[in-house]
Structure 1
Amino acid sequence: MTLESVQTRLEAIRGRPIVVREMPRAAATGICGLWIAVEDRDLVFHAPARSALHRQQIILHEFAHIILRERGDVPTDPVPSALFEDLDPGTVVSNLAARSTYDNVEELAAEMLADRLARAIRTTRPFSDGSVCSEVLG
């Protein structure tokens, strides 16, 4: 199991691509990760990471939010326009509040699921049939 295989499985489940991008300006805002659902895809942004494992954990945390389907009808926090100058606000279907802390139940649940995914990635060999990924993702 790999980060890429988790992404591929989520894309298949949701029937839409997930675009993962670094968000260089995030460091100045304190945001470490953000998931935005637009009409035809999911956008996962992550702050510059200190290591490959840190990057993976941030992305897995956002994937966990997708898995947990923690989407609100209306964004709880506006997405800072300085971070996404080329994103048309009219295309945003939903997004979670930009996260920089883990002080609520939703954030703790997402981090726990991200930890479980990370453990599965560390302890499994690459697979082709999705069996290990299915155990974690259901």
Structure 2
Amino acid sequence: MVSFDDLLAAVEHAHGKPIKISLVPSDTLPGLSGLWLETDMKSHILVPESHPKLLRMHVICHEFGHILLRHQGCEGLVSPMPSVFKHLGGQRGIKRMLARSPRWNELEKAAEEVAYLLSSFVMQGAPTPASNFEKVFG
């Protein structure tokens, strides 16, 4: 089993800089389930706080996928999301932005595959369900 903290440390090591994960109000990321922003000094992953815990972990692992696969950022996200930058202290110094988007392309598919793989490492240590009910709904 791999703890989430161990996974974060491994991704930070591969990335070569710290990664700050922030839960933000849902209206901060309109139409998105997650966002990765990179500066020279660190990366930020923003996830709506309204997401259930399991979905938040998956979104974070998806953004880890973009980081590990060294995907380039996307254009045009800054103007529709000014509220993002109040959580970061401004937009200066951002060199890369990538959002977990409902539009599927090759980058999104690749990041999603990595997310499932990383999630499985963390989830393998989940306790074994004690009852048949827990096996179905746990």
| Alignment TM class, shorter chain as reference | 0.7 to 0.9
Structure 2 unaligned segments of length 5 or more: list them: 127-138
Change (3 A) 1:16 1:89: same
What secondary structure does 1:82 align onto? Answer: helix
Deviation at 1:89, TM superposition (A): 2.1
TM-score normalized by structure 1?
0.77
Match of 1:132 in 2: none
Give the match's secondary structure for 2:37: strand
TM-score normalised to structure 2 length: 0.77
Partner residue of 1:91 out of 90, 93, 112: 93
Q: Which amino acid aligns with 2:10?
A: R
**Alpha-carbon displacement from aligned partner over 1:35-65 (angstroms, at most 9, x marks no partner):** 0101200111111244221111011011111
Give CA deviations for 1:41-93 in whole Å, capped at 9, x if unaligned.
01111112442211110110111110011024xx4122311222253322101
Name stretches of at least 5 consecutive residues in structure 1 with no aligned partner.
126-138
Q: What is aligned with 2:57?
A: 56
Bigger Rg, which one: 2
When residues 28 and 34 of structure 1 are mapped into structure 2, their CA distance, relative to the original with a 3 A threshold, is: closer
User: Across the two proteins, how many residue pairs are aligned to each other?
Assistant: 122
Partner in structure 1 of residue 35 of structure 2: 34
Identity %: 27
**What is the DSSP-based 3-state SS (H/G/I as helix, E as strand, rest coil) of the residue aligned with 1:119?**
helix
User: Secondary structure of 1:34's partner?
Assistant: strand
Q: Over the residues paired in the alignment, what is the CA RMSD in angstroms?
A: 2.0
Deviating above 4 A after TM superposition, structure 1's stretches of 4 or more consecutive aligned residues are: none
**Cα drift, residue 99 of structure 1:** 2.9
Residue of structure 2 in register with 1:6 after alignment:
7
**1:1-138 to 2 correspondence within 5 Å?**
1-26=2-27, 29-72=30-73, 75-79=74-78, 80-85=81-86, 86-96=88-98, 98-124=99-125
